Chains A and B, each alone.
Chain A
Amino acid sequence: MEIGLNHYLVLSTILFAIGLVGVMRRKNLLLLFFATEILLNSVNIAFAAISHYYGDLTGQMFAFFVIAIAASEVAVGLGLLIVWHKRHGKIDLDQMSTMKG
């Protein structure tokens, strides 16, 4: 059996779903970051696969962009996370409700 586009897409979907559940369920900020990374990478897989399928490099280029953005996001995010941890001693999501409207 040859590995085709559909397999990649299914993989991407499964990863996306895992990431989505992670985003919704996780209470730990660090694990939330993991979940977003999974989300982003699932999309990257889809980009790369489709790009290869059409023979158009734009998709792969886009995937690089996503990787770069994800990296910078993590860098900023982790920085904030560490500051938060230093102040409050924990990184539980339910505790962060200063934005209550």
Chain B
Amino acid sequence: MEIYLYLALFSPLAGSLFAALFGASPRTKIAGIVPSFLLFVSFVSSTVLLTHILSGGDIVQVEMMTWMATGDLYIPFGFVVDQVSVTMMMVVTVVSTVVHIYSIGYMDHDKGFNRFFSYLSAFVFSMMVLVMSDNFAGLFIGWEGVGLCSWLLIGFWYHKESATWAANEAFIMNRIADLGMLIGIFLVYWNTGTLQYAEAFAAMGDLDTEILTWMGIFLFIGAMGKSAQFPLHTWLADAMEGPTPVSALIHAATMVTAGVYLVVRANPLYDLIPHVGLFIASLGAFVALFAASMALVNRDMKRIIAYSTLSQLGYMFVAAGLGAYWVALFHLMAHAFFKALLFLGAGNVMHAMHDELDPFKMGGLKKAMKWTFIMMTLASVALAGIYPFAGFFSKDLILEVAMIEHHYIIYSVLLFTAGLTAFYSFRLVALIFHGEERYKLFGVHPHEAYKFMLIAMSPLLILAIIAGSFKMTYFEMVTAVLPATEYHVHSAVTYWIMTIGTQVFVILAIAFAYKKYANSSVQVPDGTSVMENRFCYKVLSNQYYIPYFFEEYLVKPYRELSTVFWKQVDLKVVDATVDGIAKAIYGTGEKTRGMQSGNLSTMLKWMVAGTVALLSLAVVFGLAVRYSGEIKTILSGLGVQ
């Protein structure tokens, strides 16, 4: 089995290096096909491993080689394929294979084609390291690696100021969170003496709750950065500057879910500290609502989907925080499929519309892009959680978890958010595909994407539809390592009321969205309508003024303080002091030059004066030593110590 593990892990790296060979040469198809094929190899190997685990096989664990060893610290490159990591591996390899093949078409005309595949495969490799490592240090390698690839890919079109800015923002914001993660790792090491998951978690049972709480908090700070939880969320929406396949793979399906994966992986820790778990769940519920509200009014197709991702990540954290780790992981998986599909559909639309992102400038595209329309609609249905699509099984389960755990506030927030989710998803679908063909005003001639791109997307479509049916198999598999709590509402009546109620609520939200946005009266907003001038619209469309706040109160002061430190402190205080000392010595020399008049007679006088001064000093000290006893008595008599 180990060979499959290595295959799954290293074929993306091989793909990346292969594409990198062509980094400097002009666009060549082979640089896209080979990495895609190698990813498919990785996918097949993951499938083999999955069947191995499903058929009750042992978990596969390897220790490749030592990485760092000093003192008591021993960190190997160790990898493990257990029920949790194999799930993640499947998600990562499926989505990334699809995205790779899709990108061959999507990046067709880009002159950075080869470079793109190199970065994209490198990302997959980092992600595999992240999910397969059997220790925190390996996790951190992957963690930073995906951050690096995310930086490279967001800033892929580096000639655009906004893209490079967004890339740097994402990297730096993640770095802030990574600091928390690093501290969390230090805490684990100094308290348990190891960074291996198994041993560290085993040792945690004997630790103080206080230490565990800090551990949980710091590790979660790391998760907050990668999963873009409030207040470190602004980078995710800006990250949409990257090519759309990147958004689908990194900023929807895989990297941003790394935070959830971390919490799930560290479940023995979070089980011991339910109060931190409750905090995670509350923050998750808040983010779910907060992000969904921003998606309501946004006029950028990709940003809407990004906020939706953020909102769904909130759902996952609710589940993970409440101890329903397997539910979180299940939603992670289902979400990865339909959200990646949604993004890839958006990519088709962007291509058709020549990189136009404002859905108000589209409309009626369903005729020109039939297949994309179907896929995006189904993905939205899945996202909204309609029976029997994937979202229904995973998202409604989270609502049930909140209910069963008696967190009614969280439950109602999530329920309300579910309505919002349905509304903004179908607002988007309605604006893009229904209503008047507003794009004609802009002289665009939309066309459907390449066939093979659509075919490449189809596995995601199928998974988005049927993923719910894996629920029981999946449950039996992962609960071998995760707490096996089954969430059933005790009374059947309550269950049906809840389920049907939610469904009705969601369907009403969809209907409302269609009614409002799928008709012919929709106009391209010009900033004059009543709604646009409402206070709450402005707050939402400016993302609660949080980016503004960051820019004004964090970035600018930092920049100004840096300049002050350089120009005022470093040059005018620190360096000036050094130069001042030098100048003082130099000045003393300059001043005392007068003594060296060259006149022998004057010099002789100075010499005599010096001798006398030295002699008198010697006499004074000699006397002082001889009469020290008496002097002390006199001084103490005077009250001097």
Interface residues of A (CB under 8 A from B): 20, 23-24, 26-27, 32, 93-94, 96-101
Contacts and interface: CB of A to CB of B under 8 A. Distances in A.
A98 B598 contact: yes
A93 B600 contact: yes
Interface residues of B, number: 11
Contacts of B597: 97, 100
A101 B595 CA distance: 8
A101 B602 CA distance: 13
B159 interface: no
Given A24-B604, A24-B605, A101 B593 contact: yes
A80 to B, nearest CB: 12
Nearest to B607: A23
B598 A93 contact: no
Given A20-B608, A23-B608, A24-B608, A96 B600 contact: yes
Contacts of A94: 599, 601
5 contacts: A23-B608, A97-B598, A97-B599, A99-B598, A100-B596
Given A23-B608, A24-B608, A99 B601 contact: no
Interface string B123-137: 000000000000000
**Interface SS of chain A: helix, strand, loop or mixed?**
loop
Contacts of B601: 24, 26-27, 93-94
A30 to B, nearest CB: 13
A1 B598 CA distance: 50
Contacts of A24: 601, 604-605, 608
A19 to B, nearest CB: 11
Contact of A101 (B598, B600, B605, B608): B598
A23 B604 CA distance: 7
A32 B604 CA distance: 10
Contacts of B598: 96-101
Nearest to A94: B599
A101 B596 contact: yes
B200 to A, nearest CB: 73
A73 to B, nearest CB: 15
A39 B174 CA distance: 84
B605 to A, nearest CB: 5
Contacts of B608: 20, 23-24
A96 B596 contact: no
Interface in B568-625: 593, 595-601, 604-605, 608
Contact of A96 (B593, B599, B605): B599
Contacts of A96: 598-600
Contacts of B595: 101
Nearest to B592: A101
B593 A93 contact: no
A94 B600 CA distance: 7
Interface string B335-350: 0000000000000000
A20 B608 CA distance: 8
A100 B595 CA distance: 9
